[in-house]
Amino acid sequence: MINLADLRAKDLEEFRALCLKAFKRLGYSVWLSEKLNGKASASSILLKNDERSLVQCSQDKGLVDISLIKDFCQDLKKKGIESGFFITTGVVRLADRAYLSSEPVDFIDAKKLPLFLETIFGEDGLKKEVSRGFERREFPRIDLRGIGEDKILWQANTFYGTTSPIKGEIADISSGGIGFESLDEIPVSSLLKLELFLYGSRQAVKSVARLIWEKPRGDSLAHNFGLSFFLIGDKDKERISDFIKSQLPPEPLDFTKSSLESNGASPEFLLKLLVEKNIIGKMVSGLHDRKSREVRRMSEVDIKKAENSIKRFFKKVVLKKCKILDLYKTATGWEALAKKIDDWFEKRGYREVYEKTIYLVRLDDKFKVLSYSKVAGNYIPKSGDLIVSPPIGTDKIREIVKEVAKEISGGNGSNIDQDTLKKIAAEAVDELEKRRKGENLWKKEDEEVAIKESYMSPLRELKIERNFGRIGKVKRGKKDIESQVDSLRGVKKGKHR
Amino acid sequence: MKNAKPNRVKAKGLDVGTSFINCAENRGKRVNFRAIRNSFFDIENTNFTKRMLQRTGINYIKRDDRLYIIGDEALEFANIFNKEARRPLSGGAVSPREKEALPLVEVLIKSILGRANHKREPIAFSVPGEPIDAKLNLTYHKTVLSETLSRLGYAPKPINEGLAVIFSELNDKNFTGIGLSFGGGMVNVCMSFMAAPVFSFSISKSGDWIDDQAAMAVDETNSKVCAFKEANLDLSKTKGLSRMEKALSIYYRNLTEYVLRHLKKKFENTKEMPELKKPVDIVIAGGTSLPKGFLQLFNRMLKRVKLPHAVGKVKMAGEPINAVANGALISAIAEETKE
């Protein structure tokens, strides 16, 4: 059985969150929660089957003062609510209960509370809830500050007064609602028509939402607002959950030595690591859309296919050239593992390419790379040539090794000596600092790869994509144009009236 | 015997204004006008935004990594994001410095005009008069538009914006009079005698300037002031004015007086003025002249300024928004017929 002292040790907000969670499991929804503002107790209005109930949570020790209960009963009458739950960690006297027996209040006090919670959460579940701290937020929340516009377009209108939408920036979203910042004045409890266009979704999510809280921002005149979905369809709920899932970071890979070894420390695993760290992506991102003479003659679709094929091909050869594994071996000392991975590449016939070298690539009719050969820097491309250079430099190799080594050294089973660790850590901190400052760690010349010369015609560059043909609202004029033209012609010929 | 009428000429008139691009084309005896708000709003090009725009049928242009929403929707989006929509034209002309905007103007023009009906279809496009209070590279503006239209298969000819208003509205006065076009970025003025321009000039203050000044005075955004001006402003109202109405009235008066004072100066300084036996009529066009009571305000100011020549009738164009495009069309057809 749960110890009451544990419940009293939590702050009131956490305690209330746990109680409300219990009620939600019983099918209630939370309609309105009173702000705590340093009070000793806090009430919330619950809703079930269109009936309202008032619940008050307080953390008391010993006997509960009857005046608190009387206040609660008065509050109940004032708000016109039919029933109430008085939850306390203290004890309500039997005499007080008898005195208040005519009131529509259920008392859940120290004697009943542990059993009440355990019945709902189960013994282990309750222990878990208490030990990990009560989750105040029911739904995971995605912070969208600064990037909201790229992820969600939203519109909210009040049901009253002006028809213009509320102006503001979305700050976060969860399955339960959204947070936003606005200069508009919107009263708490207002119902709003809310439309959300979520990234990747085909339809707008439409709901009626209720403004549940409002807080002034210290640094500007804007206020922060919280909207809770009030009426929302199941499909729309699903769309929001899918969107949130898609925005949550993936489960981190386990890079500990034991995990690597238990995974067979396969090259695939290492590749996954590199891809996840966005290293592979960066290496092949250099194939820009500058086109060689030959490419210029190809259709857009073919160019795309050729580029993808070259990217795939060089992803492999670049990996080999990077000699990740040699450096990996040096950094970690895991010779056996390095050899295993090296063998994997060799068996698959990966060849070396040299950084900062220009290659002449030939493709077959299915855009598969047939051959590639080194050419001189001043090579002039002929018809049929695709001139590329793999986007790789020494700096990038160092970067890759650093990333891999950093990940592994962060694991519990690392056997890297202390000096190496310190060196890696210092570099990692340095790099993090640079990232924080927004410095691009990748040198421009490393990313500029591709295709050496541009034969793009200026007209082609002006070909701008648009999603419309002829535009403009058509209005029919009232005047007779022919008589006006005749007059002008007449005046110009000197036949004026 | 009456001369046989020449075959109907297919032609177009184009009014490239700071606020709107308007195209006029003849369909038999009548004219069809197509207009689009000359504004854009750029958002990042992501699959989501692109798909969202496609689904909702909003016109956009994709360039590099940005999507440019164009027309009225640009203003709506600007409102959603609480930002200002951008204008491809600054102060009435294509600016050599606005490299980002130039391709957009090209696409907008291309899309509003459509393809030429036949090779070298005549088109007249409006150009502002020489500005008297600002530096404006009109040659660049003219060349860019000319080249764009030529590329689309048209035979372009420029026409002064004020003169276009006269062509559109003063045919009963043998195209003699003064045409004023109160646009978004500029006011264009032209005095014409028998369809030949006597003088023309432009002023770099107009609707946008009024919005700016009034917005500053009442501490509101330009877009809000503009929306109010377009929907509710009544310049004939004298009592019970709100702060915004008061501010707008002041700047409307200020602008009208400023224009008329320059017109007076031009009258006085023009050496080769034709001998005008009758009072000259004045015709007013352009979106900034749309608020109720503008004509009365103009007349009041006219009395105060007193032009050196007698003024006959002062009237509003039949369709103030379309007058310039209509005049340009008339010019294009007449020129073609003459040739």
Residue B5, domain member (yes or no) = no
**Which residues of chain A make contact with B30, given a CB cutoff of 8 A?**
476-481
Check: CB of residue A345 under 8 Å from CB of residue A331: no
Average pLDDT over residues A31-46: 69
Between A469 and B244, residue with greater pLDDT: B244
Residue B285, domain member (yes or no) = yes
B131, B250: one domain: no
For B35, which of A473, A485, A487 is closest by C-beta distance?
A473
For A475, which of B33, B60, B171 is closest by C-beta distance?
B33
A363's CB contacts (< 8 A; 6+ apart) are: A306, A309, A310, A369, A370, A386
Q: In whole angstroms, give the CA distance from residue B190 to residue B7.
A: 31
Which residues face B63 on adjacent strands? B66
pLDDT at B285 over 90: yes
pLDDT in tens, A208-236: 888 888 888 766 777 888 888 877 888 88
What pLDDT does residue A64 have?
85
Q: What is the 3-state secondary structure (H, E, C) of A60-110?
A: CCCECCHHHHHHHHHHHHHCCCCEEEEEECCECCHHHHHHCCCCCEEEECC
Is the CB of B33 less than 8 angstroms away from the CB of A496? no
B63, B157: one domain: yes
Between A45 and A470, residue with greater pLDDT: A45
Check: CB of residue A462 under 8 Å from CB of residue B149: no
The residue whose two tokens read 């046989």 is B4
Number of domains making up chain B: 2
Residue A474, domain member (yes or no) = no
pLDDT at A25 over 50: yes
Which domain, by its residues, includes B222?
Answer: 173-316
Phi, psi (5° rounding) for residue A78? -60, -40
For B44, which of A150, A471, A487 is closest by C-beta distance?
A150
Residue B7, domain member (yes or no) = no
Q: In whole angstroms, give the CA distance from residue A283 to residue A400.
A: 10
CA distances to A28, A85, A144, A451, B267 from A152, in Å: 30, 39, 9, 36, 58
**Which residues of chain B make contact with A149, given a CB cutoff of 8 A?**
43-44, 81
Both tokens of B83, joined, read 């930002």
pTM (predicted TM-score):
0.49
Is the CB of A465 less than 8 angstroms away from the CB of B62? yes
pLDDT in tens, B20-45: 899 999 888 889 999 888 888 888 78
Q: What percentage of chain B carries pLDDT values higher than 90?
A: 36
Average pLDDT over residues B1-24: 77
Q: What is the CATH number of the domain that holds B237?
A: 3.30.420.40
A471 near B CB under 8 A:
yes
A231, A373: one domain: no
B333, B302: one domain: no
Which domain, by its residues, includes A21?
Answer: 4-131
Q: In whole angstroms, give the CA distance from residue A385 to residue A363.
A: 9
Question: Scanning every residue of chain B, which has its alpha carbon at the shortest distance from the alpha carbon of A166?
Answer: B80
- ipTM over 0.95 threshold: no
H/E stretch holding B247 reads: helix B243-269
Of chain B, the end-to-end C-alpha distance in Å amounts to 23
B148, B179: one domain: no
To the nearest whole number, what is the mean pLDDT of chain B?
A: 85
Note which residues in 168-187 of chain A have CB less than 8 A from chain B: 168-169
Number of domains making up chain A: 3
Q: In whole angstroms, give the CA distance from residue B335 to residue A294.
A: 47
| DSSP class per residue in B101-120 | HHHHHHHHHHHHH-S-SSTT
Of chain A, the end-to-end C-alpha distance in Å amounts to 109
Residue B100, domain member (yes or no) = yes
Residue B1, domain member (yes or no) = no
Residue A13, domain member (yes or no) = yes
Among residues A131, A158, A180, the one where a domain terminates is A131
Residue B326, domain member (yes or no) = yes
Residue A488, domain member (yes or no) = no
Among B31, B60, B147, B336, the residue to mutate for chain A (most A Cβ within 10 A): B31
A42, A145: one domain: no
For A481, which of B26, B52, B53 is closest by C-beta distance?
B26
A165, A280: one domain: no
B115 burial type by CB count under 10 A (0-12 exposed, 13-18 middle, 19+ buried):
exposed
Average pLDDT over residues A285-310: 51
Q: In whole angstroms, give the CA distance from residue B136 to residue A379.
A: 47
Residue B33, domain member (yes or no) = yes
A149, A45: one domain: no
pLDDT in tens, A324-340: 445 455 544 455 555 55
Among A243, A485, A491, A496, the residue to mutate for chain B (most B Cβ within 10 A): A485
Between A188 and A312, residue with greater pLDDT: A188
What pLDDT does residue B15 have?
94
Give the gap in angstroms from C-alpha A209 to the nearest C-alpha of chain B. Answer: 18
For A471, which of B59, B82, B318 is closest by C-beta distance?
B59
Is the CB of A466 less than 8 angstroms away from the CB of B62? yes
A12, A110: one domain: yes
Give the gap in angstroms from C-alpha B255 to the nearest C-alpha of chain A. Answer: 30
Is the CB of B338 less than 8 angstroms away from the CB of A492? yes
pLDDT at B184 over 60: yes
Is the CB of A468 less than 8 angstroms away from the CB of B81? no
Check: CB of residue A293 under 8 Å from CB of residue A285: no
User: Within A107-255, where are the H helices?
Assistant: 113-121, 123-131, 148-151, 234-247
Give the gap in angstroms from C-alpha B148 to the nearest C-alpha of chain A. Answer: 11
B19, B163: one domain: yes
A15, A127: one domain: yes
